[in-house]
Structure formats: C-alpha cells, structure tokens
Structure 1
Amino acid sequence: MVPPHRPGHLKQVNKRHKKARSSSVGISISSTPRSSKVLTKRERRLLSKQRRTIKVEELKKCVGLRGSKEQPLMCVVIPLTSSVPGYLAQLLLRKADPCAMLLEDPYANLQHVVYIQSPMLKKHYAIVTADCNDLFGCIDLAQLADWLVLLCPSDCSGFSPESNEFLTALYAQGLTNTSFAVMSSLCDVKGLKRDLQKRIPIPEDTIYRLNRTDHAIALLRHMSNSSAYSASLRANKMKGLPFTGFDHSAARYRAGLLADSLSVVTEQVTIPEEKTNVYLRITGCLRGAPIFLSEPLEQSRSDESGPLLYIPGWGEFPLAKASWTNDDGTTREWLSPILQGRSKGLCRKDTYPMKEYLESFDDDSDDPDKEESINGSQDLGELPEAKPHGDDDPVAEPKELDEYEDAEDMCFSDFAARTAESSQSSSLTASQLAKFREARMAELFPDEVETPSNLPARARFAKYRSLPRFHGSVWPIEKDIFPTHYENIACFRNYNRNRRSVLRYVRQRLAGVLAMEDPAYTNIKFIPSGIRPTLLLGPMDTNVLNMILKEHDRPPDAPDEMYVPPLVVWSLLPHENRISVSHFLMRRLTSDVLGEAETSVIGDVATKVIESGSWSSDSHTPMSLGEDADSQVVMNDEEIRNVLTGFRAQQARSRTASVHSLPLLAPSCEPVKSKELMLFQCGIRRFVSAPVYSTVTASPHEKAKFEKYFKPTSTGIIATTYGPVMYAPLNVLQFRVRVNEPAPGEMAKTYMSELVATGTLHSIDPSRLILKRIFLSGHPFRIHQRHVVARFMFFNPVDVDYFKSVPLMTKNGAVGHIKESLGTHGHMKCVFDRKLNAADVILMPLYKRVFPKWVYEPQIVKVFEPKCPGKLEKIDADWFEAAETLQLRKKPSERKSSDLMDDSSA
C-alpha cells in the first residue's frame, strides 16, 4: 500500500483574504502570542538570587516576630511520668544562659511561668511546666505553646498504663513542634529511642539530653531556629498573611490567653431591678491573633453585647470590659454598650472572701425544693429528664408503651456506664456483665426484636416504616417529625463551602488589620496581640464563678509551689457560638480492637452464668440483668476468669502461671453503647454529651444505619451529638463517663474514666439521615414448597393485616410477602421465591429515623460534682434565617396510623 503524500517544509502557503473582518475580533486573550524570551544563564542566576533574598528577608521577619518581647517563645515542659521532675528541667532551661535576665517573678502568676531574656540567643522565652496527672491542663497548654518538651524516663519500664493513655491522648489531639528529652546522665539514649519508637513515633527522630546547662542552651537554640523556620513556611502558605496564629491546628486564627491572675468584680444594678452582678477579672499575656470587639457576620447577636470568649470546660462568656497598654505606652479601655454609662458601679473585691461567702450561702440553703432536686439526681448531678426522640409527636402514646421502649431508651435514664468502685470482691459488676451479654447478643442476632405478646404490634412499632430496600430507596422526609430543638439550631446548606468562606474571611480580616493598609479595615476595633490585657467576663452565675475560682485559683493560705490547673481563654470564629448537630469520625483504640474476641468470650460466659442461675422468668427477662443479680454474678466471677484464662492460653499456645495473676480486660474494652454519657475534647472545645452511632457513608445524602454499640472496627464509626459549630480539621478525643455502684447508704459518684476512641470532625449537618433498623422474627410452622405458615411474629390477626404490605426475608436470602392471616393467634400464610428450610428464620425489616439526645453540657463540673446546682444547659438563642442557613421546622400536622407504614410497592 502506497503511503499518502505529506507536504514538506517547502510547500507554498498562500495568503488568506479575510480583510472584511477585523483581525482582533473573536480572538481570545489566552490564544494571543506572547513573547517567549529565553533567559540567559546570568539572568537565571540573578533571578534565583532575588528569590533567595526575599526568602531570607521573610525568615528574618519571622525570627523577629517569634521570640520578641511582645511574642516570647512559649515552651511547655511536660513530664511523661510522675517520676520525672519537671521543675528541674524548667530550672535548667532558666539557668542555661548565665547572662539571662529574669523579667518577672515566677511566683507572681498562677502557673509559675518563667519569662527570661537570653542575650546569647537574642530571644525572649516563656517556660511553663505542666502536670502529667492533669490531662486536660496539658492539652490546653499544648494548644497554646510554640514548642513542647516531653521529658521521658530513663527506662521504658517506667511507663504505666496511665502514661500510655496519656501519650495516646496527647498524640491524638495533635502536637505542635515537639522535642523529646531525658534528664538522666546514665541513660542509653539509643536504646531508649528504640524502645520508645515501639510505642509512639518520635517527631524529630532524636532524643536530647538535658542534664547540663550546655544541653539546655543547645535545646533553646534548636527551638529558636526551628520555630522561626516553620513559622516562615506557614506564612508563605497563607498567601502573604503575616504570622499571627499558633502552630496547633485547633488554635489557628484564634487569640489565646493564659490566665496569670484571677479576681472578682461586682456591680450594683438598680434598673430594671436591684441586683448585684459578678464578673471574672482575668489578666494574662495575649497570644496569637487579636481579639475583635465586633463581628459583622454575627447578625443574630445583639449589638449591645460584647464578643464571646470561651474557657475550656466552662463555656462561653461575654466580654464586658477590657483594658490594656499599647507598645507606645498609651492606655486603652473598652466597655461593652451595656456597661457604658454605669461603669462607676464596678468595684473589685478580694477573691477568697467572695468565695467563702458563696460557699457559706450554698451550705446554709434551706430551700426544700432545691434539696429534693439535688437528692433526686445524685447519680449525675442535676441532669435533665431525658425524653426519647419522637416524643414531640402530637398524638399521645399509651402509657404501656414506655415499658417496651427500645433497649437504648430503657437504659438511658442511667446516662453513664456503671462500674463498681466500692465493690472489692468482683472485677465486673452486674451492669457491666449485662452490657457484655447484650453486646454479644447484638452480635449474634443483629437488629432482631421480639414482638410483645400482651401489646399490639401496630402500637408498639407505630413509629417505624418499611422500605423496599435500605440502599437505593428514598426516605420520606416530609413525614418526619423533628424534635423541638431543631427549630433553633444552625444548618448550613453546604458545610464545606461555608467553612472555606469563613476561614478566607478570617484570613482577609487578619491581613487587613495587621497591615493597616486597606481603608476598609481602619475602623475595626480589636485588642492587639502581644500585650497583657485585663479582661472582664460576665455577668456570671455566682455558683459558676465560685467553681472557677475553686478550680483555678490558689487559696491565700496555700504554698506558692501548689499546682493549680491552667485557665486558658480563647476567642471564637464566626458562627461558633451556635448549636448544631456534629458528626465525628471515631475509631476505637488498638487495644480494644485486639480485645474484641475476649469481649465475646466474656459475653458468652455471662450468658451461661445468668441462664444457669435460679432466675424467675416471670419477673426478669434474659435481657434485663440488673442489680438484683449482683450477688450471683460476683460468686461466678471465678468461672469467668477461668474461662478467659483458658481462652488466652489457647491463643498463646502456652499456659499462664496463675489464674488470679492474669488481669481481666482493660476498662476501654467494655462495650460502648449508644446514648451513654461521653466527654468530648474537640479542638479547644470540651463538653459532655450522649452520642448516637451510625455507619460511615460515602455521600452526605446517603442513609446511615444506626448502630446500637460502638464496635471496634477498622473503618471507624460516626458519632452524632449536639454541639457547637466547629470548623475542620479538628482532632477529637472521646472519654467514658462512669457512675460507680455505691454500697447501701452511700452516694453515687460520677467521674471521667478511660479514653475509648479518637477521631476527627466529620461534618456539621442536622439533615443527615440516621435510620434504625429492626427485624421482627418469626418461625416457619408448616412448609409446602414455596408456601409457608409462619408463627411467633404476631399474636393477633389485626397486626398481620396491618403489616401485610411489608416485604419479608429470611436469613438464608429468600424473599417473600404475607398472603393472608390464619386463625386468631397471629399465624400467617407467606409466599417466598424458593423453598425454605425448617431451621430458617423469617424476618420483617422496619425502619425509623433517630435523632441524638438533647444533652449538651459545656460546664463539665456540673456532671462530675453531685452537689453542683444547675442542670444541663438548654441553649435558648434567637437564631436568624440567613441565605446560607436552613431552618428545619417541626411539622404541625398530626400523623395518622395509616401514614406510618409505607407501601413497599411505592
């Protein structure tokens, strides 16, 4: 085959005659030819030199910002175990430079912060030591710090289980610039590094020695150079925005203040009624971004109120007054519009006389209603009476329905996991063994529910609907009745887009304020960073103020060396003062995943122990193991331990030395149930809530399946709870809240237990569909080819006719439907697509939408203090309906029983 002719470079190209049309019309700008000048070697060398000079200038600028007098380099020293003396490391760093000047007495502030100026390194440092026994205090200081120094023991054998959990929580929450150090001079650093890397990753891949002054000055020099370089890199990524934030992702774009002193300020008010307002006066060094005194995006807040500041563990408080001194020596003062005109009524009072007055007022209270309310909720310190979701239905349910509520609704009155702190004879209490057994039954028979024989099924399952299939079908949202709390929560149309818009707005605002070049930002009022302001927060409740002073202030008769937990104040980003529905992607700890098989063994043994005991089937159902069986379970504790020992020996192919020397499962391996009380540490936020768990979905519009238990799966699970609006990325820690089972005559105590899961913020979306699935099970009584007579699913013919349109399925995969009812005892004739086996189980799937429990408590001391007055906070704010906000309203129309069940053919 002859190839086609291809013209060469000598082919003549004639001129195109198109003068009638302008040559500039219809030509895109991108297609116009540009001059492609080829740079010579000398020009390329000069261009690279200019770029290098610009980077050096930026680095010098960041070096001047980080470690200056206004922004000292904050170094937090955290000992990993109690045996490591952290105060000696602080003393070494303080005495590293012999010419260093001490700028402030360390005992003049609450945290004993050492402010030094090093002429050798030409830097200012703020060195503070944390306590490893105070996890939340270490997390707050780590988010505020520029550099962390983790002091590890000379031998890894000094790590206790508590130290391992402390390290896990610290790493999961996120670390800033970190260095490991050891203070022992006889320590094998290489061996310690090798053993430590088996537990946790070492960021810098090295461990510094810290037992001489030359070691301390080398560590300080390393912190100064490395922190400035990292700050320069981050400033380049922020598109020209100068460095104003923290290294920690949770504290970025925020203003942070570590309290140096606390006091009380009172105000006499006569209008509209005569009362006394109390305020908390906080003094400290402001770091990070400035505090903006007005927020244009917060259209829902009143113009008379100041900005909201957040204290971890205590909640949000309005800023009433602020005073500070600028670098040029001028004194500035800002008052909220509410306090303007009556600022003369403010007077400072001593801290501890006020505290003593508040304590005596609480002790001498003779209010009988108050005493009854406290005694009625001793288990959890004034928790509200929780209602199951769906109670907003205007159609009243019969009272006998409460007896047959779902398992998670039955046990939610306890709110928290129960353990035996006072019982010394048994390792596992009756409530814990009941939870093990229920988790095992849920694993063997997932979502199966027995129909009550003394109650119509159409009334018991009136809130459930049917679906042709779980995936691929449409859930009728218009028939849902939302809880009343959904009327006032924030719901963004597109959370990811809103997050990007808010962060871009914050970056532009910070750039305009710091540069002061844009005239649009010249009138913004803010408290600049790098100064020592005095903030007045309030007005506060006297009980809350009393508890803050009791927790974070040092009594006057206490020694100066006494440790007090740090109090940190944070500014909030736009819309973060709103309440919405938060979704966290959580994963169980590695030890919990490895112990999943052992939890199944304990569940089987617990079932065997309970069923072999002298139980009365009339008074106790197999699923309702309570305190009445405590003595029997304690007696069978030896049997549980022996079976668990044999299982572990079989797995390890070797016998252990002693049965009693083998510990039982770790506390974190205990099953985690939905709607149990949990404590969340999400970024700077810390609150107590009762989450519900669901499966992970690829799309936010896809239906998620409700999970009764938080299973230790590798893919993770979604924890849904009420919480404030937050912006990803944020790391989340989940702690279990327990209530001990006291002895007769003793008061129950609520306390924070072990870390159970770690994860990240997934989204903020109240419209996410979480569906709970149940299976009504029946047994094939007679089988003739594809026709089956089933029983034990219903107990009257009216229920059979009511659920006739719902499709059926079996565990072996057969699909069918109800043809008609037989007799008067609930038998029914069914038709399937294949012949059934006599051992098969007939299932009927039903679904209903679930919502999280309305439990959100930012003041966690109200949960852990039994005598603390007050209840879980109800967020009552007048939110507005903006263009980017979708309000979900409660349906006023009543639902009929005929609308509760959808036809499967629809």
Structure 2
Amino acid sequence: MVNVYLHSLPAGDLMLLVLAEKRSLGSRDGPPHLVVVVPLHCRAAAHDTLRLLQSQDSAVVRVDEGRAGGFALLCPRLKQRWRFVTAQTGDLHAVLDLAKVADSLLFILDAADGWDSAGEHCLSCLFAQGLPTYALAVPGGTDLPPKKRIDARKKLAKAIEKRFPEAKLFPLNTEQESSLLLRHLATQKQRHLAFRDRRAHLLAYTAEFVPGQESDLVGTLKVSGFVRGQTLDVNSLVHIVGHGDFQMSQVDAPPDPLSLNPRVVKGQKRSQDTEDDSVNGTDEMEEDVKVLMKVDPHKQESLQSEVVPDPMEGEQTWPTEEELQEAEASLKANRRVVKVPKGTSKYQAAWIVDDGEEGSEKDDDDDDEDDDMDDDMMEEAVSQEGESSGEEEPAEEECETMTVSECLRDDQYDEKMEEDEQMLEKYKQERMDEMFPDEVDTPRDVPARVRFQKYRGLKSFRTSPWDPKENLPRDYARIFQFQDFSRTRKHLFRKIEKEETEGASVGWYVTLHICNVPVSVMESFKEGKPLVLFSLLPHEQKMSVLNFLVRRHPSNSEPVRAKEELIFHCGFRRFRASPLFSQHTSADKHKLERFLRPDAALVVTVYAPITFPPASVLLFKQRSNAMHDLIATGSLLSVDPDRIVIKRLVLSGHPFKIFAKTAVVRYMFFNREDVMWFKPVELRTKWGRRGHIKEPLGTHGHMKCHFDGQLKSYKRVFPKWTYDPHVPEPVPWVRSESTLPVQEVEME
C-alpha cells in the first residue's frame, strides 16, 4: 500500500506522489484504467450500461476480439483511456480473479431491489478478498411512476448505506450521466491491495498458443497485456491464476493497440533503451515487434517446488570411539534423578518434569508471560506437594485403603463382573448428557495402549515441551523452511521498495513468452474466462506449511470436517487442498494448538506454496451440484512448519469407591496391561484435582488412584413423586398385654 511504502516522506511529497499516481492511471504513460463491470442482480441491465458508456462524444471504441462485453474506450481530448471487462454472471471465480487486478469495480444494481442473494454472496466474497476502488450505478427505473420511483430510490439508498457507507449512487440512463460516471471513475482515490502492489501483474489482452515440438498438449503461450503493480523481470517466475507457476523465455514490446496517438509506435521508442540492439540486428529493428529482454539461465528462478528427499539421509553409521566417549560424557552431564511410579520406562520418565526443570523453564520465559504462568505454576506446586506428602507416608495410605473391605483383595476382585457390564452401559448413557469436550470412549475390542499409541500425556498445553522435529512424516522431507521467515520477508519487501528492478516498467504493453504451458490454459481463455498473471517473489514457488487465521462465515451452518478437500483463494492464488483445523490460542509460547472448536477463531494448516503476507484467504466448499459455498474468511497467519497442531483426546473414568484422597476408578481401561501402560500419565478431575495411578486392581481395568486433595463425592438428590390424596382409614387401637420373655445376660 502507498501509505506503507511512503510513511517516512513529508506530507507534501506524499501528496505529489499520490497525485502523480492518479494522473498516470489511464494516461498515455500508464496502463489503461481497468474497470470490471459486476452485475449484482439478475435484472441488472449490464448491456445497457456498456452501450451508454460506448456512446461518448469524441471517444474511440475498440471491442475486444472474441470477448463478449469487453471493449476499450479512448478519449484523446481528455487524454484518458479505459478498458471495460464484464464479469460473467454466476462465475464467482472469474469475478474474484478480475477483482485481483482491477483498478475499479463498477457494480450494476437493480432499481427496485439493489442486489439479490447471488449478488449478496458475491459482495461477501469480494469484501473478504479485498475490495479495490468501486462505484455504484443503477440503470433503468424510468418506467416507474414518479412517486414509486422516489420511494424505490429511498429504499435503495437505505440498503446501500449499510453495505457501502460512503458510496455515491449514480443513475445511468443518459449519455450525460454516463459522462459523470466516467469522470468519477477517473478522479476517485485508488484503494490498494497489498498482495498485488508488491508484484507485477497483468490481465491478458490477447493470447496465442504455439505447440511444442514433442507434444501438441504443451507449448509456449504468448500473452499480451499492460504491466501493472511493479516492474516485470523476465528471470522471475509467473503464476497463471488457477493453472500454476511457469517460466518465461523472453519479453517482447509490440505496438500498443490502445495508444492515444496511433502515429507513435511506442515499441520502437522503448527498444532504444534496451541492450538487445546489437544482438537482434538491423532486420529486427525494422519489425513492429521488438524483443525487450531474454532470459538469463544463470539468473532465472528455478521451478523446483519440492525438496527431493534422500532415502539414505536417515541411515546411521557405526560411531567412532571419540563419538562414543563424547556421548557418554554428555549423558552423564545431562543425567538427572526423578521419582517415578513403578513400571515407568526411560522414555516415559523423560516426560515427567521435576521441580528444577519447572523453575528453569519459568526463568527462560519472557517477562510478558510471567503473569500468565503464575496460576498454572501454583497449581503444579500444589499438585507436587500433594504427591510428595503421599510418598512420605506410604504405610498410612496402604493401611487406610486395605482395611476398608476384604473385597479389595487381588485374588477375589474378579468375582461378579456381570454387574459391571450392566453398569457400564448405564454409565455411558448418563455421560452423553455431560458434553465433556474431546472425551472419547475407550474401545473394548482393541487395547488402549494400541489404540492410543500415537498419543502422549501432557501435563500442560502451554508449559509442556514438545520437540517440533520429532516423528515428522515423510511429506516434511519435501517442503522448504526458513530459518527466520519474518526476517526474510522484511528484507525482501525492503529490497522491493528501495532497489530498482530491471525489466518491463509499469504501463508498458508487452508480450510474455511463457514456456511449457498446457493447452488447457488457452482453451480456458477462448471460453471467455479471464487470464490473470502475477509475477512471483523469490521462494514463492516452493512448498511449505501455511497457517491461516480464519473465522466461519455467518451463512455457513454445515460442520467442516478435518482433511476435507476445500478450495482456497489465498492472495493471488487459487488451489485445492485438504487442511487441518485447530483452535487459535493467544498465549502460545510453545506454539501448541488445541483441536477444532466451533466457537472460536480457527487456524487452518495446509501444504501450499509459500506466500508472503499480508494475503487474504477465502475457503469454499464444493457441493454435489457444483456450487461453491463460502465457509470461512481470514488472512495468512504464518509460514511455519514448526507450528505444532495437537489433537486432544480425553479418557474418562468413573470413581467406584472414594477413600479421602484415594479412589478406585473403573471404566477408563478394561485390562491390567493398559493400566500399567498409562501409569506415568497424570490424572485430573473436572474439579481440578490432580493425581496418579498407584496400582491396578484385578484384571478388568480397575485401578487405585491417589489425588492431591479430598475428592468431592456429592450428588444432588430429589424427592420421589409419591403424592396420593387418598389416605386409608386407621384401624382401632388396642393395647397389647403380652409380655416379652426376659433374656438372660451373663455378666462378667
């Protein structure tokens, strides 16, 4: 954006640059003013609007060949030139692609209703992507009576005020009104989109496909158009929206078809400034098309988008004696002593954090996170005090638990298990009403240690360490990663602002020779779809992991499933991918993400080509009837493969018997081996008590657990409905004279 680039300039210089930019747009030295006509109602008469715009006095109209509704308007008297392109009604992708490169959008409204449901959907997508300069026009409405015409205009103005607070409504029924509209389009302040102002881009005016020698399906695509945004370098890559990334072989300078002065061939004047005069020869100078620049193989960007993984890179060789001694020394230096429950493996013990580690982790935190961690650290301290106090007096705990009842003996514990089966089904039905988040049922047919072997127990989402390089999938060997993405982005943007790039300047009419393009691109252009090109910044062709911060669109009520294929509009790109959804957390030192929540901002993680923010993103879901529903909108958050997305599962159990701080828990596991496997994992109750598994009881998954405080074993009770208004008559009362025999009691 201009106000970002020039924030350090004086106010007077800034105003001069803005004025120069406004004057260059549509002038002889700048590109034609690109206006995209967007009908927002099925009754909006777009053809009448185009007919009125073409009927300007002293204006030359040049209709685009093979493009319905497209024409150029040249006004030598005003020294202005426009190019009007009509977006196809119902083709949402075409509207969004044209809005990416348009200087102005001309919305055509209906005189009575303004816009319909399709127009409302189109406006929602355009606002989410980023709206350039726009104008509102209302053709027709003259056939209504004067009173109804005034009422319809007031109703339409009220609707426009909510959607476009500062917009001005232009009636479009006469040539004079069309002249006022053109003047407004030429003089209004331009709104900039950051993702296109930092990249060279153009809308194809003409295109030609030259088949290759090996196959007719792939060849060279010659695209002609006006350069916009930034200077176009032939050595950079070019992205054709909806089709992919490609390389260029050369850039030509043909005669400008929309020149205000046809007698001057601008391609000949430009060719004098190039260094290809001695290379091309005198014969080429006499031609109309001049070669501006050819690609330099040593400076050309590569199309490599993925890293080719080496299968032998992970192989381990036999260590030398020196390496063994160094490893043993480091192991002794890093060795620590921790108290763990019985049966804990070395790997599981590594996840148990002692007091010293917690203190060191807290010292390493930033000052602004200390306040957020105080509460969690106090809870952990209370938990450890409870555990340590329990370990100091194990005999008292054993005595308290074992002397309550003889049924807790291990050899008699498996008797009468049919009642447990019935109680389990009843407990499952009662638990459906609680709606505990992320809670899952432990399977009966598969051992829990097998079903959840990829999961690990975390003491805290915020403070528990997690190595981002651990257990990576094979796909991570194919992606690129920056050492410092933010620093690379700042350096690249600073270079764009300060350094001048050699190539085709903004406003030049050029022809790009794009190599190895499939013939489907040309077929799409012949069908009337727009052909939009963007030059790529360095590294933007490489694959990585992109994180988007989005919010659900209000019109979307259907649930979105993880790994479901969606359509993305990310900045200037359009692609399909199957993302992961996670909940966004603000306090996020270790970059841990909780799983999907419908009531919060979502982070969408996906494999995609690198894109430097800022860039807007739109997510569409394709229905069976080929319609695309807008489900979420947002922006690019980061390009970071180290951002950890965690899927959380909660295994719950039911306290069978409670003895102060000790309880017997069932229904969490169903065999003894699972209890021993999950013994190192910390337990937590819904009321905040923390504890651990002491030992299994029997062979059906019951376990004895100890907590850091008294467990609340309360439940609410209600009276039974036993009201009866009919009371039986009392029987006559008679005193009994019988005497009970006196029992003899031996006294000591």
Give yes or no for TM over 0.5.
yes
Equivalent position of 1:669 in the other structure = 557
Q: How big is the shift at 1:503?
A: 1.0
1:576-632 alpha-carbon deviations (Å, 9 max, x no partner): 1111111111011234xxxxxxxxxxxxxxxxxxxxxxxxxxxxxxxxxxxxxxxxx
SS at match of 1:133: coil
CA distance in 1, matches of 2:432, 2:492: 47
Equivalent position of 2:351 in the other structure = none
The answer to whether structure 1 residue 62 and structure 2 residue 21 are counterparts is yes
Equivalent position of 1:452 in the other structure = 443
SS at match of 1:292: coil
Equivalent position of 2:44 in the other structure = 84
CA distance in 1, matches of 2:14, 2:610: 37
CA separation of 1:837/1:707 partners in 2, compared to 1, >3 Å: closer, same or farther? same
SS at match of 1:127: strand
SS at match of 1:533: strand
Q: How big is the shift at 1:181?
A: 1.5
Q: What letter corresponds to residue 707 of structure 1 in structure 2?
A: F
SS at match of 1:220: helix
Equivalent position of 1:178 in the other structure = 134
- 1:449-848 superposed matches below 5 A: 449-477=440-468, 480-509=470-499, 512-513=500-501, 524=502, 526-540=503-517, 545-554=518-527, 564-591=528-555, 668-698=556-586, 701-708=589-596, 711=598, 713=599, 715-738=600-623, 740=624, 751-832=626-707, 833-837=709-713
CA distance in 2, matches of 1:207, 1:760: 31
CA separation of 1:116/1:835 partners in 2, compared to 1, >3 Å: closer, same or farther? closer
1:635-655 alpha-carbon deviations (Å, 9 max, x no partner): xxxxxxxxxxxxxxxxxxxxx
SS at match of 2:538: coil
Q: How big is the shift at 1:441?
A: 7.5
Q: How big is the shift at 1:718?
A: 0.9
Equivalent position of 1:99 in the other structure = 58
1:214-271 alpha-carbon deviations (Å, 9 max, x no partner): 11111111222224xx48xxxxxxxxxxxxxxx32221122222223333213336xx
Q: How big is the shift at 1:84?
A: 0.8
SS at match of 1:529: coil
Contact 1:695/1:704 (CA < 8 Å) preserved in 2?
Answer: no
Contact 1:783/1:838 (CA < 8 Å) preserved in 2?
Answer: no
Q: How big is the shift at 1:733?
A: 0.7
Contact 1:551/1:565 (CA < 8 Å) preserved in 2?
Answer: yes
CA separation of 1:285/1:457 partners in 2, compared to 1, >3 Å: closer, same or farther? same
CA distance in 2, matches of 1:161, 1:443: 40
CA distance in 2, matches of 1:572, 1:802: 52
The answer to whether structure 1 residue 206 and structure 2 residue 168 are counterparts is yes
Q: What letter corresponds to residue 323 of structure 1 in structure 2?
A: D
Q: How big is the shift at 1:829?
A: 0.9
- 1:70-219 superposed matches below 5 A: 70-95=30-55, 97-102=56-61, 104=62, 106-108=63-65, 110=67, 112-156=69-113, 159-186=115-142, 187=149, 188-198=152-162, 200-202=163-165, 204-219=166-181
Equivalent position of 2:246 in the other structure = 317
The number of residue pairs the alignment matches comes to 539
SS at match of 1:322: strand
SS at match of 1:485: helix
Contact 1:693/1:706 (CA < 8 Å) preserved in 2?
Answer: no
SS at match of 2:228: strand
Gaps of 5+ in 1: 1-50, 232-246, 295-306, 340-391, 395-439, 514-523, 555-563, 592-667, 741-748, 841-906
Q: What letter corresponds to residue 678 of structure 1 in structure 2?
A: L
Equivalent position of 1:241 in the other structure = none
Computed over aligned residues only, the root mean square deviation of the Cα atoms, in angstroms, reads 3.1
Q: What letter corresponds to residue 491 of structure 1 in structure 2?
A: Q
CA distance in 1, matches of 2:123, 2:484: 36
CA separation of 1:222/1:146 partners in 2, compared to 1, >3 Å: closer, same or farther? same
Equivalent position of 2:206 in the other structure = 261
CA distance in 1, matches of 2:17, 2:216: 55
CA distance in 2, matches of 1:786, 1:577: 59
CA separation of 1:76/1:502 partners in 2, compared to 1, >3 Å: closer, same or farther? same
CA distance in 2, matches of 1:149, 1:465: 56
Contact 2:139/2:172 (CA < 8 Å) preserved in 1?
Answer: yes
CA distance in 2, matches of 1:776, 1:117: 72
CA distance in 2, matches of 1:311, 1:584: 22
CA distance in 2, matches of 1:169, 1:189: 26
1:456-499 alpha-carbon deviations (Å, 9 max, x no partner): 22222111111222222222446x21122222323223333322
CA distance in 1, matches of 2:537, 2:673: 57
Q: How big is the shift at 1:679?
A: 0.8
SS at match of 2:476: helix
1:97-155 alpha-carbon deviations (Å, 9 max, x no partner): 311123x3x14253653222224533111122212311111112112111111111112
- With the length of structure 1 as denominator, give the TM-score of the two structures: 0.56
Q: How big is the shift at 1:701?
A: 3.7
1:13-41 alpha-carbon deviations (Å, 9 max, x no partner): xxxxxxxxxxxxxxxxxxxxxxxxxxxxx
1:783-840 alpha-carbon deviations (Å, 9 max, x no partner): 3333221112112111111111111122233322211101111111112222243779
Q: What letter corresponds to residue 85 of structure 1 in structure 2?
A: A
CA separation of 1:393/1:774 partners in 2, compared to 1, >3 Å: closer, same or farther? farther
Q: What letter corresponds to residue 457 of structure 1 in structure 2?
A: A
- 1:17-56 superposed matches below 5 A: none
Structure of higher CA gyration radius = 2
Of residues 800-809 and 127-136 in structure 1, the stretch that sits farther from structure 2 once superposed is 127-136
CA distance in 2, matches of 1:58, 1:669: 47
- With the length of structure 2 as denominator, give the TM-score of the two structures: 0.67
CA distance in 2, matches of 1:586, 1:493: 26
Q: What letter corresponds to residue 251 of structure 2 in structure 1?
A: A
Q: How big is the shift at 1:293?
A: 2.1
Contact 1:393/1:481 (CA < 8 Å) preserved in 2?
Answer: no
CA separation of 1:507/1:782 partners in 2, compared to 1, >3 Å: closer, same or farther? same
Q: What letter corresponds to residue 447 of structure 1 in structure 2?
A: D
SS at match of 2:618: strand
Q: How big is the shift at 1:700?
A: 5.8
CA separation of 1:280/1:58 partners in 2, compared to 1, >3 Å: closer, same or farther? closer
1:76-104 alpha-carbon deviations (Å, 9 max, x no partner): 11111222121221222222x311123x3
SS at match of 2:539: coil
CA distance in 1, matches of 2:483, 2:176: 57
The answer to whether structure 1 residue 288 and structure 2 residue 288 are counterparts is no
